[in-house]
Amino acid sequence: MLLGAHTNKKIGRFFLEIAWGAEYTEQMTQSIRWLQDEIADRMLQKLDIVKLDVKAALLIPDFPGKYLSTFTKRFPGVRLDSVYEEGLSGVSSLRFKASLFRRRVLNGSQSFSLDGYLQSGKLALPDNSVDLIFSDLLLQDLSDPHHFLKECWRVLKEGGLLTFSYLGPDTGKELRALDAGSLKLKNLASPWDMHDMGDALLSGRFSDPVMDMEYLHLDYQSGDLLLTDAYALKLLQMMPSESIEKGFLPQKLTLEVVYGHAWVIGKHLAKAQENVAYIALNQIGRKTR
């Protein structure tokens, strides 16, 4: 594992912590859940320096993984609301459903399907109901991340935190460099870089956004494994129906992983319209003698 030098820059009106040349080499031979679990663990490490009293949190997406035990130790007694992904089967599905049921019984946690959110565009939670939203590798698959951020703002309490990760535009660049032939490539639904996200957070009234990024290089001994992962990452429209010529595919796949967090501060003080905040007169304190 080679970690390049870090540098801090002030770009526009938000803070970017850019990992120049940071490289992590992994071999991804398991389900794509492995990647979600790994990135969730890195997100939790970044939260170690954040002081936040979390009584209620929203996981979106929620999925079975080792990170869950770390999360509940980090925030003991937390009510974990959940927007979960469909598609689990067999023993994994039964265990995950049992986990959701146990949370519901123990502390009143609520759970909803990700498909339901995508169809309705609405997080099925009341306004001002959670202290923390933890979103792991979701934003790149949303057609309208702006709307997602708006919903996060709505359900977060004053002083709450949105923390997230997503795949950036350099993800899968080795495939785009090919003369695709029989490969039906697919663009990420929202290939946002850090600047795009920083601007979106500020326009969505979030405060003090902090962003950073790293590259993960996944090495493969088999073209079939690379294609399986590329399809799971939604970089392909479909799996190739014919065999790919040996040596045509790269042996490495780059993932650009963008991390960030931003706060909800002054939520009840102002209303915003076209990025301008309007403060009511009765919300302005008067100095008394």
Query: What pLDDT is attached to residue 286?
Result: 45
What's the rounded Cα separation, in Å, for the pair 198 and 145? 12
Mean pLDDT of the chain: 82
Mean pLDDT is highest, among 9-18, 26-35, 258-267, for: 258-267
| Domains present along the chain, CATH in parentheses | 25-171+190-213+258-283 (3.40.50.150)
Q: What backbone phi and psi angles, to 5 degrees, belong to 141?
A: -100, 0
* Structure tokens, 138: 């979701």
Q: What backbone phi and psi angles, to 5 degrees, belong to 168?
A: -90, 180
DSSP label of 85:
P
Q: What tens digit of pLDDT does each residue of 236-248 get?
A: 998 887 777 666 8
Q: Is 154 exposed, middle or buried (0-12, 13-18, 19+ CB in 10 A)?
A: middle
Q: What tens digit of pLDDT does each residue of 36-84 get?
A: 999 999 999 999 989 899 999 999 999 888 899 999 999 999 999 999 8
Place of tokens 């007694």: 77
Q: What is the pTM of this model?
A: 0.83
Instruction: Enumerate residues 6+ apart whose C-beta is below 8 A from 176.
Output: 185
What's the rounded Cα separation, in Å, for the pair 64 and 85? 10
| Rounded mean pLDDT, 23-32 | 54
What's the rounded Cα separation, in Å, for the pair 114 and 101? 17
What's the rounded Cα separation, in Å, for the pair 49 and 65? 23
